[in-house]
Amino acid sequence: MTEATLWSRLLRPVLLTLVALFFLFPIFWVFLMSFQTNEQILRIPPSLFFSPTLDNYWGLVSGKLVTAAGTLELPFMRNLWNSVVLSTGAVLLSLLLGVPAAYAFARFKFRLGEDIAFTLLSFRFAPPLLVLLPLNLYFQTLGLNDTYIGLIWVYQLITLPLILWIVRGYFEDISPDVEHAYRVDGHGWLKTFLKISIPLARPGIAAAALLSFIFAWNNFVFALILGSSSIQPVTVGALAFVTASGIQYGQIAAAVVLSILPTLTLALYAQRYLVEGLSLGAVKG
């Protein structure tokens, strides 16, 4: 008894703090770095005290990368916008295709159903580079190279299996009786899907959408090979910070902070759907 109290009173907060420090400290350090010049960052020993500068952010927003060797054009804001378009587009398309498919896999037993579901999941197993070389050739023939549509299509390899499999589990957890009751009440199947099944699976859909958005946002290799600078996301765009005259740590840090912001905002927004314990009390357990 006393041991348990000691454990929960003292040890647990200490350990939790350690874990939090371990994961959050790098982010905190990057956040500090984004307000420093390259010289301040590279001095030894490093110091928590410095006069903050907004130059890094200003450089990113204006698109001018000032280095020792001169000024470089840097389309960072363009990259950020591309990331938003690609990730949002990929997730929306996956939701549109994946949620009805997940419902079908959860509710109906059909021939080869399990095999199809597994094949979709197996897209996640293949090394992306293996797919990319033939895909590159196809895309050039089809004219999809260097287009938003082409990249969003390829991003489905990341987002669709994720959404399909997570949401399927949530649909399976909804008692079919709740849907049956709505049908018996006199509503058609489509209305039942939209008014009962989707709202009840919403926490799962929100979680899956958020997760696949993060995966899409962090993707690097698809965009590197299939897109040119006009549609490249931040992950590829960040390569530009490695310049002939050195690595621009301050601006990399500022870029990291800026590129975390959209995902962070989305996560905070989606949180209220994630914690919703909606299916409680539907049926007698």
Partner 1 sequence: MSYLSIEQVRKSFGKTTVLEDVSLGVERGEMVAIFGPSGTGKTVLLRLISGVFGPDAGDVLIGGHSVIARGPEERDVGMAFQNFALYPHLPAFENIASPLRARGLAGAEIERRVRATAELLKIDHVLHHLPRELSNGQKQRTALGRALVREPKVLLLDDPLRNVDAKLRYEMRVELPRLLKRFESTVLYVTQDYKEAMALGERVAVLNQGRFQQVDRPAAIYTRPGRVEIARLFGDPTINLYPCRPAAEADGLAIELFGSRLVLPRAAGETAGRPCLIGLRPEDVQIQLEPAPGAIPVELDAVTPLNVRTVLFLRAADRSEILATCSESVGARFGRGHRQVFMRLDLAKALLFDQASGQHLPAAA
Where do contacts with partner 1 occur on this chain (CB under 8 A)? 175, 177-178, 180-189, 196, 199-200, 278-284
* Cβ at position 105, least distance to partner 1 in Å: 19
Residue 121 or 181 with smaller CB distance to partner 1: 181
* Cβ at position 174, least distance to partner 1 in Å: 9
Given a contact cutoff of 8 angstroms between Cβ atoms, the answer to whether 178 and 196 are in contact is yes
* Cβ at position 130, least distance to partner 1 in Å: 40
Residue 242's region, left for phi above 0, alpha for psi from -120 to 50, else beta, is: beta
Residue 30 or 181 with smaller CB distance to partner 1: 181
* Cβ at position 203, least distance to partner 1 in Å: 11
Given a contact cutoff of 8 angstroms between Cβ atoms, the answer to whether 239 and 182 are in contact is no
Q: In the chain, where does DSSP find H-type helix? A: 2-6, 12-33, 38-42, 55-62, 76-107, 113-122, 128-142, 148-173, 176-184, 189-192, 198-200, 202-217, 221-226, 234-237, 249-274
Residue 196 or 258 with smaller CB distance to partner 1: 196
Residue 12 or 180 with smaller CB distance to partner 1: 180
Given a contact cutoff of 8 angstroms between Cβ atoms, the answer to whether 223 and 233 are in contact is yes
Given a contact cutoff of 8 angstroms between Cβ atoms, the answer to whether 148 and 86 are in contact is yes
Residue 196 or 205 with smaller CB distance to partner 1: 196
* Cβ at position 202, least distance to partner 1 in Å: 8
